[in-house]
Amino acid sequence: IYQVRIIDRSSGKQAGLGSGFLINTEGFLVTNYHVVSEFTNHPDRFNVEYLRTDGEKGSLTLLDLDVVNDLALLKLDQSPGYFIELANTLPSHGELIYSIGNPHDLGWTVIPGTYNGITAHSVYERIHFSGSVNPGMSGGPVLNQAGQVIGVNVATAGNQLSFLVPLNRLNNFINQASTRTTELASIDTVIAAQLRANQREIIGGL
């Protein structure tokens, strides 16, 4: 599990931060799109880098993004040889799960909470998590009791009411990302296409 930082090129100061986690031995890292959106909007002004728990830093390369489900795939400048396994299924309703991230840059934190299924009456699939997901934890993994990823931290409404990108959306994104490469110069085109496709799906459903 890594901290993801957006760095201003001119000043070297931190302009944004979140969390992320490795999904394979090649150094592929998942986080939220909104964590790296400052970089994708202004790649000439910002760099994106990781910070390991031992203090080691390095650069990250954007591979793909899913703006609708708020996911991004990046690659470390090295292959560390370890990763977190994805679960095969979601937990049972009421099961204890664990959100991991670096809230407010205070240090790595594990937040236990309850899996409450997929939120009802929501346009986008989200897991309802009874636990505190705070700024800086976005993009971090949420684990089942076997230590496998079942979702990704994405948002909070406060008072132990938080939301996660579910496992199926994460799997779909990873599978699609493995078959294509997103160039920085084409990001606006990619985002526009994703938003139009999502709009067509919603209107079609209505």
138 is annotated as an active-site residue: yes
Which of 19, 37, 99, 138 does the annotation list as catalytic?
Answer: 138
CA separation for the pair 165, 142 (Å, rounded): 10
Q: Strand (E) positions, 102-160?
A: 109-118, 127-130, 141-143, 149-158
11 is catalytic: no
Beta pairing partners, 49: 5, 59
- Torsion (CA) 149, 35, 24, 150 in degrees, nearest 10: 10
Q: What is the DSSP string of 77-110?
A: SS--S--PPBPSSPPPTT-EEEEEE-GGGS--EE
Copy the structure tokens of residue 118.
């997929």
Residues 66, 70, 99, 162: which is the catalytic one? 70
Dihedral sign, CA of 45, 21, 23, 190?
A: negative
Q: Is 34 a catalytic residue?
A: yes
CA atoms of 103 and 125, how far apart (whole Å): 24
Q: Which of 34, 37, 64, 66 is catalytic?
A: 34
Q: What residues are annotated to the active site?
A: 34, 70, 138
